[in-house]
């Protein structure tokens, strides 16, 4: 082996080393292939030529020996870097000799086992390692799918390409590269159906230093042979490499290879279109890409194609529009050609419609109406039996015919994707702008703004339109600055002025165009029509036209609320002499409009009633009182059949109008204002006969009669009202009726008043009868007997609702005290304690006890306190126990005080449940920290008072109520009543 100090060989000398493996080395041609150490191995192989294990053991031993020698060589000698770069794995003589030895033994083994995949794979990998260099594995982020889609397979191969280190130079080692290829060819001759060998062979063509004679034509033919040889189920593994190789080569190769693949699997069409339009592509094909995208969009719309990138049919069409915008000259027709194409398409569509009409007019061949096909050309179908779409040059990538962009966008875009019209119109306009056809682009913008149905689409088109005008004006101004020819200058200035006026007009038209969009979206939107009227300002002619157009366009049953206001405002427009009021008022026109409005079948009866009321008010404004009355008489005309359900929407509004309380209310107000008493009464009576009156009508009718001194008639109206309505509505009528009756007659018709009160109370629910009882009792107090008054109060305490009973008993007790004195209230208190709820019993007991104390009945008061204690939790109602404590201090003895404490502990133990405890905690939380501190002080005060009141050494401090213990009792009163927690008082068992 040459040392580093020796003269380095030249390129010619390095080339002389090759070929190393062709012809196949053997001991006869290369004596150094076998050493004396290899004789034993050779003899063994000669004795057992059919033993695969012997051959494989020999190969393995030779490879391991080479690896060991190579490691030793790396430690003892160093190969020059320039030689290592050129020769790569074969830079050292040891590597070259090892290659020959391995080649010799592999070839000998293959001569015995030519169909062994294991031998061929190992042999090829060995040859590849000496020629292509060492493979550098790249770590993968995740696992590999077993059967990935072609798109995923391509992306994975792109992300993880094969990489090699220090390969053999293809120029110096050209013979060795050719020898490697010949080995692959021989291996595939023996094992042509194994895809792994084909993939190994193909990987050679992806080597960055693969010679040109191998990496182009030979590689393409190898790919083709692989596809012809392998079964179709394995083609995807070859196509993955084939397509990546084609993308790498670019140009015509990419196009032809992809066309072949797309004929079988169109899922990579989107990827192909990107390759056709790639910036790295020296010869882009926008027309072919556009036709492919249009074909995909149409197939996706028919459900025949699913995008691997999850794109919707509209997104595919949008991709096509982007191509059209970027390459307008290459893919689209000019203006004149587009117009001619549009005319031809319109003629063809007309002929098709006429043909369909003729076919539909013919008699059917069978009774069911379905024609029987007897003959004709076959209809092409897909694999699943569905008919295929007819041939179209717009979808044929091989056709050089350009697109009629307008027709395609209208047919495949605007007719299908109405919610994306803004993008489609702007795309079409941009196409004409890129071609320099500004007038055509302006027409497209105008058409777009007058056809879209959403604000988003309108805003998109209008912004693009305004930007186009601004850009054009800027370009004209720049051209004006650099223009020197006076004629050209004048023409440019004229065009600039025209463009400026158009831009200003466009800005001024924006509110109208936006309003047009909203009206197109919903022609029955009354509010938008009102806005349209407001946009015209003082232009009376346009306002009149807008109102007329609105009333002709709107469908009453589909209109938004307040359609009647449109008619009313239109009538006021003529009544007031236009918007500005400068014209002559035209009442006749206003009446005609309102007359027309009365025949419109509105959705709500109240809208129709509003029309009649506005008509009558218009006549009143012009002092036509009789005409106003006549209008309302027409409106309230009662039909023969009055048994019509007002809420039956199947009937027209005119048929249900006579039951509109709004209309009758206006009519009766009008009669009250300008009519007579009799005419007003007649209107009220009609309302009552129709049974549509509400409580307000009853009250108004009675008040009207009362104002005109028809008192008895007004009372009759109240009586009719209470017959018509039930509680709680009739309660208000009774309340007014009884108060009016008592005010009118006082005590002169006492029996009649009593009958009325009894009638009112007969069906009155408990929650509403309290005011009536109080009024009834006041009547008896003022004009009747006190005994009857007390009986009424007694009755009220039993009838009223539970929440009113406490107040009722309080009033009853107060009245009994005033009339009969305090002793007479004892039975009332007893009944109150019997009927009141528990939560109110304690309060009533405190009042009862105070009464007994006033009367000197201390024992009765103490018994009442004891009775009330069972309803009072000491933690929730400390006020009760404080008052009892004060009572015992002032009037009790030691025994009674001790009994009170015992009862308190017993009650507290009774209430010591979870619910009661939570209630106490809630109250404590509401009181806050400050109150808790005060409570602690009070408890301490209570303990001090008890200590002072009872001392074991001095004896009890309590004395009889009438003895001279006032000072001590006074001292106890100052402290003890504030106690809130008696648990702090400790009494021994001996004292109990």
Look at residue 935 in the predicted model and tell me its pLDDT. 43
Look at residue 509 in the predicted model and tell me its pLDDT. 92
Tokens 């709107």: give the residue.
Answer: 554
pLDDT tens column, 335-361? 999 999 999 988 888 887 877 766 555
Per the structure, how many domains does the chain have? 1
Percent of the chain with pLDDT over 90: 33
Look at residue 388 in the predicted model and tell me its pLDDT. 66
Angle at 678 between CA 675 and CA 683, to 5 degrees: 75
Look at residue 930 in the predicted model and tell me its pLDDT. 42
CB 26 within 8 A of CB 33: yes
Q: Can you give the residue range of the structural domain that contains 37?
A: 11-136+150-191
Look at residue 309 in the predicted model and tell me its pLDDT. 87
Span 824-842, average pLDDT: 75
- pLDDT averaged over every residue in the chain: 82
- Does 109 map to a domain? yes
CB 227 within 8 A of CB 235: yes
Look at residue 60 in the predicted model and tell me its pLDDT. 93
Q: Facing residues of 387 across strands?
A: 381
Reported as a pLDDT band with limits 50, 70 and 90, residue 219 is very high
85, pLDDT greater than 90: no
CB 168 within 8 A of CB 89: yes
Q: Which of 79, 76, 73 is nearest to 98 (CA)?
A: 73
- Does 90 map to a domain? yes
Neighbours of 52 (CB within 10 A): 14
- Does 727 map to a domain? no
Look at residue 955 in the predicted model and tell me its pLDDT. 39
Reported as a pLDDT band with limits 50, 70 and 90, residue 238 is very high
Q: Note the residue count of the chain.
A: 992
Q: Facing residues of 164 across strands?
A: 135
pLDDT tens column, 755-788? 888 888 888 888 888 888 888 888 888 887 878 8
- Does 164 map to a domain? yes
pLDDT tens column, 779-813? 888 887 878 888 888 888 888 887 787 888 888 78
pLDDT tens column, 912-966? 764 555 555 565 555 554 444 444 443 444 444 444 443 433 333 333 333 333 4
323, pLDDT greater than 90: yes
Percent of the chain with pLDDT over 70: 86
Look at residue 962 in the predicted model and tell me its pLDDT. 37
Neighbours of 295 (CB within 10 A): 21
Look at residue 280 in the predicted model and tell me its pLDDT. 77
- Considering only residues 494 and 387, tell me which one the structure prediction assigns the higher pLDDT: 494
pLDDT tens column, 742-753? 888 887 888 888
- Does 22 map to a domain? yes
Reported as a pLDDT band with limits 50, 70 and 90, residue 892 is confident
Span 213-229, average pLDDT: 93
**CA atoms within 13 Å, Cβ hemisphere of 725:** 23
Q: Which of 340-354, 443-457, 593-607 has the least mean pLDDT?
A: 340-354
Reported as a pLDDT band with limits 50, 70 and 90, residue 378 is low
- Considering only residues 577 and 870, tell me which one the structure prediction assigns the higher pLDDT: 577
Span 205-231, average pLDDT: 92
Token digits of residue 812: 């009853």
- Does 679 map to a domain? no
* The 3-state secondary structure of 440-492, one letter per residue: HHHHHHHHHHCCCCCHHHHHHHHHHHHHHHHHHHHHHHHHHHHCCCHHHHHHH
Span 479-489, average pLDDT: 76
How many whole angstroms separate alpha carbon 23 and alpha carbon 604?
105
CB 428 within 8 A of CB 405: yes
**DSSP 3-state of 674:** helix
- Does 158 map to a domain? yes
pLDDT tens column, 669-706? 999 888 888 998 899 889 888 888 888 888 888 888 88
How many whole angstroms separate alpha carbon 105 and alpha carbon 101?
6
- Does 764 map to a domain? no
CB 684 within 8 A of CB 672: no
Phi, psi of 956 (to 5 degrees): -65, 145
Reported as a pLDDT band with limits 50, 70 and 90, residue 147 is low
């Amino acid at each position: 082996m040459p040392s580093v100090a020796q003269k380095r060989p030249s390129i010619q000398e390095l080339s002389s080393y090759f070929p190393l493996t062709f012809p196949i080395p053997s001991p006869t041609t290369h004596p150094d292939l076998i050493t004396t150490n290899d004789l034993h191995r050779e003899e063994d192989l000669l004795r057992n030529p059919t033993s695969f294990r012997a051959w494989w053991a020999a190969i393995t031993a030779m490879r391991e020996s080479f690896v060991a020698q190579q490691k030793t060589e790396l430690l003892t000698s160093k190969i020059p870097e320039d030689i290592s770069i050129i020769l790569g794995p074969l830079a050292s003589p040891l590597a070259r000799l090892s290659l020959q030895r391995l080649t010799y033994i592999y070839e000998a083994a293959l001569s015995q086992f030519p169909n062994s995949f294991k031998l061929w794979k190992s042999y090829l990998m060995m040859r590849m390692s000496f020629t292509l260099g060492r493979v550098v594995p790249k770590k993968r982020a995740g696992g590999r799918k077993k059967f990935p889609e072609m798109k995923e397979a391509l992306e994975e191969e792109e992300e993880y390409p094969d990489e090699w280190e220090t390969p053999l130079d293809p120029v110096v080692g050209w013979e060795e590269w050719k020898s490697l290829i010949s080995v692959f060819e021989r291996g595939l001759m023996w094992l042509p159906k194994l895809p792994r060998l084909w993939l190994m062979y193909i990987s050679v063509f992806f080597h960055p230093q693969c010679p040109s004679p191998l990496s182009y034509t030979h590689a393409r033919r190898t790919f083709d042979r692989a596809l012809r040889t392998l079964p179709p189920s394995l083609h995807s593994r070859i196509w993955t490499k084939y397509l990546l190789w084609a993308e790498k080569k670019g140009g015509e190769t990419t196009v032809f290879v992809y066309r072949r693949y797309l004929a079988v699997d169109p899922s990579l069409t989107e990827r192909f279109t990107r390759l056709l339009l790639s910036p790295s592509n020296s010869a882009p094909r926008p027309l072919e890409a556009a036709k492919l995208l249009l074909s995909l969009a149409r197939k996706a719309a028919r459900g025949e194609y699913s995008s691997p990138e999850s794109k919707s049919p509209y997104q595919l069409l949008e991709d096509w529009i982007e191509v059209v915008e970027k390459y307008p000259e290459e893919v689209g027709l000019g203006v004149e050609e587009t117009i001619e194409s549009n005319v031809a398409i319109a003629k063809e569509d007309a002929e098709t419609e006429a043909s369909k009409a003729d076919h539909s007019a013919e008699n059917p061949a069978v009774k069911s109406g379905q024609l029987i096909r007897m003959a004709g050309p076959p209809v092409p179908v897909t694999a699943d039996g569905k008919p295929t779409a007819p041939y179209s040059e717009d979808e044929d990538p091989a056709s050089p015919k350009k697109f009629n962009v307008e027709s395609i966008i209208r047919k495949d875009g605007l007719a299908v994707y109405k919610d994306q019209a803004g993008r489609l119109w702007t795309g079409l306009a941009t196409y004409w702008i890129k071609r320099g056809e500004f007038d055509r682009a302006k027409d497209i913008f105008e058409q777009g703004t007058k056809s879209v149905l959403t604000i988003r689409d309108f805003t998109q088109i209008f912004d693009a339109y305004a930007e186009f005008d601004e850009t054009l004006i800027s370009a004209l101004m720049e051209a004006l600055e650099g223009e020197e020819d006076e004629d050209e200058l004048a023409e440019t200035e004229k065009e600039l002025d025209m463009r400026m006026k158009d831009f200003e007009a466009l800005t001024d038209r924006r509110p109208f165009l936006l309003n047009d969009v909203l009206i197109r979206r919903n022609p029955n939107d009354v509010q938008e029509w009102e806005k349209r009227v407001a946009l015209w300002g003082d232009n009376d002619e346009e306002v009149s036209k807008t109102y007329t157009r609105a009333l002709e366009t709107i469908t009453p049953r589909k209109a938004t609320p307040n359609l009647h206001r449109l008619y009313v405002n239109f009538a006021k427009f003529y009544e007031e002499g236009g918007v500005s009021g400068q014209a002559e008022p035209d009442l006749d026109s206003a009446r005609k409009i309102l007359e027309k409005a009365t025949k419109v079948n509105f959705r709500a009866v109240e809208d129709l009633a509003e029309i009649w009321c506005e008509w009558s008010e218009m006549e009143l404004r012009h002092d036509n009182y009789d005409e106003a009355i006549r209008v309302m008489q027409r409106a309230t005309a009662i039909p023969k059949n009055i048994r019509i359900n007002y809420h039956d929407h199947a009937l027209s509004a005119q048929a249900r109008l006579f039951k509109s309380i709004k209309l009758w209310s206006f009519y009766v107000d009008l009669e009250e204002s300008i009519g007579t008493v009799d005419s007003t009464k007649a209107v009220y009576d009609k309302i009552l006969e129709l049974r549509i009156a509400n409580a307000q009508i009853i009250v108004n009718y009675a008040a009207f009669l009362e104002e005109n001194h028809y008192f008895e008639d007004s009372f009759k109206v109240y009586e009719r009202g209470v017959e018509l309505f039930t509680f709680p509505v009739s309660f208000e009528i009774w309340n007014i009726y009884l108060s009016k009756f008592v005010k009118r007659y006082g005590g002169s018709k006492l029996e009649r008043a009593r009958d009325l009160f009894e009638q009112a109370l007969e069906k009155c629910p408990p929650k509403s009868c309290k005011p009536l009882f109080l009024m009834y009792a006041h009547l008896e107090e003022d004009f009747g007997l006190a005994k009857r008054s007390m009986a009424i109060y007694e009755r009220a305490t039993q009838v009223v609702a539970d929440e009113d009973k406490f107040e009722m008993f309080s009033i009853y007790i107060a009245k009994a005290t005033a009339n009969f004195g305090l002793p007479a209230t004892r039975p009332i208190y007893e009944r109150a304690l019997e009927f009141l709820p528990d939560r109110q019993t304690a309060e009533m007991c405190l009042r009862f006890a105070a009464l007994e104390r006033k009367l000197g009945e201390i024992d009765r008061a103490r018994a009442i306190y004891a009775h009330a204690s069972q309803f009072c939790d000491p933690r929730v109602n400390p006020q009760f126990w404080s008052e009892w404590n004060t009572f015992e201090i002032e009037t009790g003895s030691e025994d009674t005080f001790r009994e009170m404490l015992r009862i308190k502990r017993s009650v507290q133990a009774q209430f010591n449940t979870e619910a009661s405890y939570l209630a106490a905690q809630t109250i404590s939380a509401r009181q806050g920290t400050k109150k808790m501190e005060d409570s602690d002080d009070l408890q301490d005060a209570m303990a001090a008072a008890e200590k002072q009141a009872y001392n074991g050494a001095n004896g009890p401090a309590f004395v009889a109520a009438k003895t001279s213990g006032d000072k001590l009792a006074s001292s106890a009163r100052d402290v003890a009543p504030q106690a809130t927690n008696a648990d702090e008082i400790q009494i021994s068992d001996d004292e109990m």
